[in-house]
Amino acid sequence: MLTFKRAEKLSKKAAQIFLPVIDGKAVAPELAKLFQLNFEDELAFFAPSDKPLKAGEIFEIPVSAEGYKCERLAFVSLGKASASELRQAGAAVGRKLRGKSDDVYLHLDLKKDETKSFLVSANLGNFTWNLKSDAKTFTSNIEVRNGEIEVLKSAQLVSDAVNRARQLIHTPSNIKNPEWIARQAKKYANGAKVEIKSGTALKEFGGLRAVGGSSPKPGPRFIKMTYVPRKSGAKHIVIVGKGITYDTGGISLKRPYDIMIPMKSDMAGAAACLAVMSALKDMKANVKVTALLMCAENSISSTSQRPGDVITHYGGKTVEVLNTDAEGRLVLADGLAYAVKNLKPDYLIDIATLTGSATLGLGKQYAALYSRNLKWIKELRTAGDISGDRVWHMPLIDDYESALESDIADINHTADKGDFNAGSVTAALFLEQFVNGVNWAHLDIAGVGRAEADSGENPKGGTGWGVRLLLEWIGTFK
């Protein structure tokens, strides 16, 4: 991991220097004088004018000065310092420092929001996780030139929260079950109130019980975390996270079997919720936030739900189950209905690795955002562009609601009626049946919640997507 602190100048104990290059230029006269360097000449050698540097490219030169430990200076290209280029460059610095525990000097001269973006991405790029028997922990301390204390604290808070979500997601499912998630909620509550329901206390939660009943030991968990600000009369945000700790598909078994391998990450939505809650006290959030973590394992057993079952959700709506591998929407439906009936939210948002269809439409760079509140959509898109967790507004197409019709229940859950070929849209329409007109948004993070390769800001596996977006948006409430 990386830690950040302010520095007025290069300390004599710093082992390495990172010097940003913007549009082919590096400006640090005090460093040039100390090490007797001409940065223009150095850059002309490594990056001639006909081959401009790409954001994230790093090259090093040896340096020495009497009394200083530093022996290497690394030029880091920020391209033209656009938002995405700053994140690429920050991640490259973080990756460069993997496996090291050094004191590092970062000669930044950026605006506040640019500095924060760069530092957050650096800590994300530095993240690694494994359970090897010889695993070691490394921490490099980044001394940021003239970094404002509040900016450094905010970058630390956000990036640590994202990495906390990643740790939860990466934990294998022989360790991670709904009971384990409940323990983590208590561990990282950081002042938030935690309430847990299990067993007979879940009798009204038909969707959660139907899915989690397939793995009765320990069984499903409903985890409620509540943060209350000091400010009176604050708005109330409720976030509902899908927490499927492992997804075999149930009786509708996933095929081919190898697509099951990454399914320990099917609780990425709940992990994001938990990580957000862990940061609210320290960021002094001015809004009340409740997180509902809907946790279950979707397994195969004699107590598994079956295609053709009819379940009664929280609030009384009946649903015909047609495919047990579409389990995420069943647990979310209970959470949404509970929030509407009991919590009176001003904003209700769910986040889930829900459908492969979202990935087909948007790839792995944008999450699908569904809502009918255009003002809120704009706010979330702005927060996504600033934070790096980008979203794309998708339509809730009323004409497709007929896909939810059922002959034996109020609705079916897979929207199999008709042939609309819009799985992400119809999944969102299903969830909308449980919000009763409340101000609601749905984030389908199936594409962005997992990374197939270790590159840029993301490790292979869980990305912690959604934490930056939600913290950025929550921070806009004054």
Q: What is the model's pLDDT at position 415? A: 84
The residue count of the chain comes to: 478
Q: What is the DSSP string of 83-143?
A: HHHHHHHHHHHHHHTTT---EEEE-----HHHHHHHHHHHHHHH------TT-----EEEE
Cα(66)–Cα(34) distance, integer angstroms: 9
The CA distances from residue 269 to 20, 243, 245, in Å, are 35, 6, 11
Cα(378)–Cα(53) distance, integer angstroms: 34
* 171: CB partners within 8 A, 6+ apart: 180, 264
Q: What is the model's pLDDT at position 385? A: 97
Nearest one of 445, 315, 477 to 370, comparing CA atoms: 445
Whose tokens are 């579409």? That residue is 326
Cα(38)–Cα(40) distance, integer angstroms: 6
Q: What is the model's pLDDT at position 231? A: 86
Q: What is the model's pLDDT at position 111? A: 95
Q: What is the DSSP string of 20-44?
A: EEBTTB---HHHHHHHT--HHHHHH
Taking the CB of residue 198, how many other CB atoms lie within 10 A of it?
17
The answer to whether the beta carbons of residues 354 and 329 sit under 8 Å apart is yes
Sign, CA torsion 27/142/90/156: negative
Q: What is the model's pLDDT at position 222? A: 98
Q: What is the model's pLDDT at position 110? A: 95
Whose tokens are 């409620």? That residue is 224
Identify the burial level of 77 via C-beta atoms within 10 angstroms of its C-beta, where 0-12 means exposed, 13-18 middle and 19 or more buried: buried
Task: Tell me the average confidence (pLDDT) per consecutive run of 10 residues in the chain, 478 residues long.
Answer: 96 96 92 94 80 90 95 95 96 97 96 97 97 94 96 98 98 98 98 98 98 96 97 94 97 92 96 98 98 98 96 98 97 98 98 93 94 98 98 96 96 87 94 98 97 92 97 96
Whether this prediction's pTM lies above 0.85 is answered by yes
Q: Which element (helix H / strand E) includes 337?
A: helix 328-342
Q: Which element (helix H / strand E) includes 159?
A: helix 149-170
Sign, CA torsion 447/375/243/414: negative
Whose tokens are 């709940």? That residue is 270
Cα(446)–Cα(182) distance, integer angstroms: 23
Taking the CB of residue 375, how many other CB atoms lie within 10 A of it?
9
* 4: CB partners within 8 A, 6+ apart: 119, 142, 144, 147, 152, 155, 156
Q: What is the model's pLDDT at position 17? A: 97
Q: What is the model's pLDDT at position 51? A: 79
Amino acid at 317: K
Query: How far from chain centre, in Å, is Cα 164?
Result: 10
Please name every residue paired with 318 in a beta bridge, in sequence order, or none if there are none.
312
Q: What is the model's pLDDT at position 208? A: 98
The answer to whether the beta carbons of residues 10 and 142 sit under 8 Å apart is no
Which residues belong to the active site? 254, 329
- How much of the chain is helix, strand and coil, in % rounded to 5? 35, 20, 40
Q: Helix, strand or coil for residue 207?
A: helix
